[in-house]
Structures are given as C-alpha cells and as structure tokens.
Structure 1
Amino acid sequence: MKNLWRIFSKGIISENPILVLALSLCPALAVTSSVITSLTMGLTVTFVISLNNIVVSLTRTFVNPKVRVPVYITSIATIVTLAILVLQAYAPQLYKALGNYLSLVVVFAIILARAESFASKNRVFPSFLDGFGMGCGFTLAMVTIGAIREFFGSGSLLGIRILGSWYNAPLLFVMAPGAFIVIGYLVAATKSLNKKREERQKEREAA
C-alpha cells in the first residue's frame, strides 16, 4: 500500500510534470488565463494519461518494441478524440475556449513519457495510479497558475469579480510573459519545498 501511495503521490509534488519535470509547458502558457480553462485542460490530460497508461499496460506484452511509439501515439490520439467529442457535446463553450490546444494533447510529452517509462513496464493498477497521479499534479499546477493569472490579470476568480472597479489589472498577467513569470516563481517554490522534504526525510532516516 505504501508503495502504491508513493507511485501516485510522486506526480503531485516531487515529480510534478510542469513545476519539476518542465514537460508540457505549452498549455501552461496558452490556456491558463483563467481557472476554468486551466481546470478543463487539466482534467482532460488526467483522463487521457490515466486511460492511456491502462491501455499501454494491458498491451505491453503484445506490442513489438520496434513499433511501440506509433502504437502509443495511436492510443493517445484515440483517447484524445473521445475527450474532444465529449467536450463538444456537453461543454461547447469550454471546447471553443481551448480550441486547437485540445488536439495538441496528443503530443504532450508527459503522456508519452509515462507510457514509455512506466506503463510499458508495470501492471495495470500501478500504471493507472502513475498516470492519475501525474494528471493530478498537472491539474494542480495548471489551476494554481490559472488562479494567479486570473486574479492579478482580471481581478476575478472562476469568472466572479473579486476586486472592485478600482483595480486596474495589468495586462502582463494575461499575456505569455506573465505566465512565464508565474511559472518561474512556482518552480522555485516547488524546488524549495522538495529540498526541505528531502532534508526532513534524511533526518528521519538518520534518527
């Protein structure tokens, strides 16, 4: 049980896809101008990476290693298409807001990386936990970036006005440079947190 928890939790802080591994930064820059779009993209990636890890784990003994990458990409593309169709049917406004970035989920490095480095070598349930944990970490980072950018860039959260009309929102936060600045500070904070966690772990082991 402890090992399963470690597999799940590593993607949230210690190996966060955006804030530690620096993978799939494109959506972190492009669709994090609001919490809603950030959350939608995060949940979409979580769904895709979790389901793809299951598929890869189930088929790992049948796939020829020479063609494994095309097979993985085909699996990812199929799952992404399913997610896009669901959004088109039940959340058309969110689908329009995310636009072409949904299609780009197919080539997100974090999804293929987890399929190659973990799911292709492990059983189904651990592979699911790995994908789900990475997806949760991705979503957490996206929502945090989106909340900061929306609050300082628009004076609102979840589309609800927080700051009054007196607040003159700087355009920097709703533009790509603002996203870079926010991500930079969050990366620094995450590294500091991970360093403190490692120090506490060493102290416990020494005791």
Structure 2
Amino acid sequence: MRRGTLYEHIHEKEGKNPSPLPLARRLKIAAETAEALAFLHHDTGMQIIHCDVKTANILLDENWTAKLSGFGASRLGPEDLDSKSNTLTEKSDVHSFGVVLAELLTGLEPQRNLAKVFVGLVEGGTLDKSLDEEIVEGNFDIVRKAADLAKRCLKPKAEERPSMKDVAAELNGLVRTMEQHPSEGGEADISPSPKDTGNLGGSSASSASVGDIITSAL
C-alpha cells in the first residue's frame, strides 16, 4: 500500500515526514477497520476470527482508505464458543481493536500493558493530557466518546465487550459528526471515493471481493 501501515504513521514519525493524522482521519480509519472485522464476524456465513488485529496489519492506500491485512493467524469459529475459556473468539478481536483505538488516541506504543494504562487514563480523568500531539486541538467531546468506546472494547470479561457491528456503528456516528463540523479537528471531506469501495477495509465491501481476500490469506 502506498501509505504503508497505520503503525508507521502513529509511531514512526521521526525522519519520515508522514502526512499528519488529524482526529477525523483517525476515526475514519478506525470505522473502516471495524466494518471489516464486523463483516468477518457476522456476514461471511462462516465466522472468521482475525486473531492478529493491530496497527501494523492496517494498511492505508493513497486515499487513506484502511485495508485489513495479516490473516495468517485467522481461524474459523462458531459464535457460541465459551468466552471464559482460553479459546479465541470474536471478542478477542474486539479487545485487540480496543488497543488500536487506544493507540490512535494517545500515540502510545502497543506494549503489553497499554490496555491497563489507557483505561487508567480514562478513569482517572487524565486522558486529555496524554493525547497524541496531532489531535490535541480536536473536538474533545468526540475524543471522550471514542475513548469510552475503546474502554468498553477493553473490558476484561469478553461477554461485556460490544460486538464489532456495534463498534462500527458508533464510530461511523462519530465520523458523521466530524464531517458536519470540519473546523473542530475534522476535514472537509473524509469519505472514501467510489473507487475505494468493494474491498475488505472499505465501508461498502462486497461479498465477492471480501471472499477473495480472505480465501487467499487463510
């Protein structure tokens, strides 16, 4: 992908002079990734658990459209797996996505205890002091809502986490709000262009094209 990975844009800024990631763009990338995961979990006819959701596996094309990659660890699994066992379920992907959201908001590296650190920032009311420098001027009400969503994704008990469908719906709502208020940390036009649809990371992924990507990756 022309713009590389999301990880590179968040964590490897020094010396590469990457384009900035304002809040609206980050939310759009998050929403597209959430939609791709929701498709895998609920709309393929045979549930697919990604098992390796992380910023290094989110690719960005020339139009900043997110493409979910890294299917090497993916597995098939029914939705009623025991969430109290060590078996990976779709809620494992939800937790990993919560870490992605935490990275997008804070710019912190995805170390083992990032989830605990992030939840502590939110619950301690100090998140505003730990935001990534590229979004500190953004709409903090939107940031707070995104942070609350990330916190719910990071719940220790899998059954208390939202589904990826619910996550995608909330993020798309935040994206629409940012589109309506581009002067508050948003961009005038962050919607994907028509040529970007029909892929796993896009918001209008077709069953055929998604199936091709998944089949070749598993």
Could you say whether these structures have the same fold, taking a TM-score greater than 0.5 normalized by the shorter chain as the test? no
Larger radius of gyration: 1
* TM-score using structure 1 length: 0.32
Please report the TM-score for the alignment, with normalisation by the length of structure 2. 0.31
Q: Which has the higher helix share?
A: 1
